[in-house]
Structure 1
Amino acid sequence: MKKNIAIIMGGYSSEYQISLKSGQVVYETLDASKYNAYRIHIFKEKWVYVDGDNTEFTIDKNDFSVTINKTKTTFDCVFNAIHGSPGEDGFMQAYFKLLNIPQTSCDMYQAALTFNKRDCLSTLKPYGIKTAESFFINLGDTINEDSIIAKVGLPCFVKANKAGSSFGVTKVHKKEDIKNAIEVAFKEDDEIIVESFLDGTEVSVGVINFKGETKVLPITEIISENDFFDYEAKYLGKSQEITPARLTKDEEDQVTAIAKKVYEVLKMKGFSRSEYIFKNGVPHLLEVNTVPGLTLASILPQQAAAAGITLVDLFDNAIVEALKN
């Protein structure tokens, strides 16, 4: 009997449009002989099932069901394609845990931790994971540019602490530009992390649970045409993404081991994609994404293809592993 799969997409953050594209790819890719796929749009103002004619049916949040033509449908598994809140920060994971509905991403705690850049990096440092120098700012704090520069230097990156797709990120070259960058970041979050600039090769490493084992996918080297790997570089073609990355054997072994260690130390499940920059030959972790982009142009699907894993198999495996759990 075919399983009913709810593909949740959209979300409450600036990343909602990217999420809708990811969710649509999942919807079009899932094996129709095994699954009944349902597109579920999650927005602050509405949770709805959207059928093939784009007719909307309201989701009953009491049990995450939908009634169509007086017939109630429930779901065997949820495929999480929401980038940002509430799909990547733990809220949806907690909700489905309470309802006892399997879902394809990591658990609530891991989602909340990895979505908070500074908490995640602080958790991993005792395990020997190298990171950039950082300075933390909360909304309402007094801004002292000299203290920031003394800690992280220039240039530096000012980032919204809990945001993705490079929303709320600015590369700052001059002291007088710091306050404006902070204002940009505060539009996305009430917490900010300011990090030192790491000058080196940037790579993205996908790690997944594939057929019950932790699998590190072929590494992607990122070369941005812009000042850094910003929104344009990620989604509008302003970058080169080279898979497999042009690394030495030692560099490849290092970052593969570290990415796997991060995944296992954090007790992750499902998909993950972590970003690193090599400084003096050593990979430094930037962040961990637990609901990475799943469009045909996204990095994780490119890496899976390089590993000989089709999108059909990638998405099918995510559901199979979720149902096991």
Structure 2
Amino acid sequence: MKKQIALVAGGYSGEYEVSLKSADGLYSFIDRTRYDLHRVLLTREAWSVLLADGSQVPIDRNDFSYRTPDGRQVHFDLAYITIHGTPGEDGRLQGYFDMIGLPYSSCGTLASALTFNKYTCTQFLRSQGLRVADAIRLRRGEQVSEDTVVKSLDLPVFVKPNAGGSSLGTTKVKVADKIEEAVRRALTCDDEVIIERFVAGTEVTCGCYQANGRMTLLPLTEVVTSNDFFDFDAKYNGQVSEITPARISDEMTQRVQNLTQNIYRLIGAKGIIRVDFILPPDGSEPVVLEVNTTPGMTTTSFIPQQIRAAGLQITEVMTEIIENELNNR
């Protein structure tokens, strides 16, 4: 009998549409001869299942099941979370699934909550000996002078929401008198803001996953954009070149992969994660930018690119991850 898999998409943030695209990608990647796939959409107003005819039926939040129009109750064997942002990337949905005993694909509650809070995550990684960019965190209502920012971090700086993704609300600030405006913009997306030192160098990203006791480290992708930085347009509107494998030495590739594996273990990850780095031009230690525990899974996203470059079949990778979770519950 086929296992029933919920592709959980949507969410409560500005990344809703991106999440739907990831769900489309997963629907094409996962082996439908082995699993029955159900699209589950979460919004603040409703949790529902999208049926083949386009209609929706509500999810029973007591056990995350649903009733079909012909009266059959469907219970899921696993939830594949592909929500970018709250509640699927910050640990809230993971906590709910833990409470009702439903296996899920991504990192657990603690790892998800930790990595979703960029400032807390980078400070934790710094405490473990990893190199991260210096930053100042501001909560809503707090202020910092432009002089303090410039003396502490120099210019330019990145001003961005502490929680969130897809570079929404993020600004690269090159002159001091634009800092306040950038903070206000970031506060439209979150109640906390990070002002982060700019680190020059080559941006790369590395995906990995663990299944059946074996860690798979994927080839690196080099991110090249003519935009000021890897912003929303670069990510989703084609204003970027993504080169896989990255044009760096084998030695540096190994260093980044080792760091990615170390981060995976430090945060207690499971499923697929992706870690973003800057490689300084002097060849010194890579700088960790952020950890993504529900990375994009559209057909052109980094992880599918890296899986192809590794010579792996993405359908087999998805099966491996799903079966690993089902067999270890």
With the shorter chain as reference, the TM-score category is over 0.9
Query: What corresponds to 1:55 in structure 2?
Result: 55
Query: What corresponds to 2:302 in structure 1?
Result: 299
Query: What corresponds to 1:2 in structure 2?
Result: 2
Query: What corresponds to 2:34 in structure 1?
Result: 34
Cα deviation, residue 104, structure 1: 0.2
TM-score normalized by structure 1? Answer: 0.98
**CA distance, structure 2, for counterparts of residue 289 and residue 154 of structure 1:** 26
Is the 1:121–1:131 contact (alpha carbons within 8 Å) kept by the matching residues of 2? Answer: yes
Query: What corresponds to 1:20 in structure 2?
Result: 20
Query: What corresponds to 2:116 in structure 1?
Result: 115
Is the 1:200–1:277 contact (alpha carbons within 8 Å) kept by the matching residues of 2? Answer: yes
Aligned residue-pair number? 325
Cα deviation, residue 210, structure 1: 3.7
**CA distance, structure 1, for counterparts of residue 195 and residue 287 of structure 2:** 15
Moved more, 240-249 or 306-315: 306-315
**CA distance, structure 1, for counterparts of residue 113 and residue 53 of structure 2:** 35
Equivalent runs, 1:191-230 vs 2, <5 Å: 191-230=192-231
Equivalent runs, 1:147-158 vs 2, <5 Å: 147-158=148-159
Equivalent runs, 1:229-248 vs 2, <5 Å: 229-248=230-249
Query: What corresponds to 2:82 in structure 1?
Result: 81
Give the SS at the match of 2:190.
coil
Query: What corresponds to 1:308 in structure 2?
Result: 311
Alignment pair present for 1:265 and 2:266: yes
Give the SS at the match of 1:181.
helix
**CA distance, structure 2, for counterparts of residue 104 and residue 319 of structure 1:** 7
Is the 1:25–1:295 contact (alpha carbons within 8 Å) kept by the matching residues of 2? Answer: yes
Give the SS at the match of 1:147.
helix
Cα deviation, residue 222, structure 1: 0.5
Is the 1:104–1:321 contact (alpha carbons within 8 Å) kept by the matching residues of 2? Answer: no
Superposed CA deviations along residues 259-315 of structure 1, whole A, max 9, x for unmatched, are 111111111100111110012322100000000000011001100111122221122
Is the 2:125–2:132 contact (alpha carbons within 8 Å) kept by the matching residues of 1? Answer: no
Query: What corresponds to 1:254 in structure 2?
Result: 255
**CA distance, structure 1, for counterparts of residue 120 and residue 138 of structure 2:** 13
Cα deviation, residue 211, structure 1: 3.9
Cα deviation, residue 107, structure 1: 0.5
Superposed CA deviations along residues 193-219 of structure 1, whole A, max 9, x for unmatched, are 111111101101111114432221000
Residue type at the aligned position of 1:130: R
**CA distance, structure 2, for counterparts of residue 66 and residue 30 of structure 1:** 21
Superposed CA deviations along residues 212-269 of structure 1, whole A, max 9, x for unmatched, are 3222100000001200001111111101100000112221121111111111111110
Is the 2:4–2:77 contact (alpha carbons within 8 Å) kept by the matching residues of 1? Answer: yes
Residue type at the aligned position of 1:263: Y
Residue type at the aligned position of 1:299: F
Superposed CA deviations along residues 126-156 of structure 1, whole A, max 9, x for unmatched, are 2211011111111000231111111111001
**CA distance, structure 1, for counterparts of residue 214 and residue 129 of structure 2:** 23
Alignment pair present for 1:132 and 2:124: no
Equivalent runs, 1:153-168 vs 2, <5 Å: 153-168=154-169
Runs of 5+ unmatched residues, structure 2: none
Residue type at the aligned position of 1:94: G
Superposed CA deviations along residues 59-95 of structure 1, whole A, max 9, x for unmatched, are 0101101001211111000011111111000011000
Cα deviation, residue 51, structure 1: 1.0
Is the 1:278–1:284 contact (alpha carbons within 8 Å) kept by the matching residues of 2? Answer: yes
Residue type at the aligned position of 1:261: N
List 4+ stretches of structure 1 deviating above 6 A: none
Is the 1:212–1:321 contact (alpha carbons within 8 Å) kept by the matching residues of 2? Answer: no
**CA distance, structure 1, for counterparts of residue 28 and residue 59 of structure 2:** 21
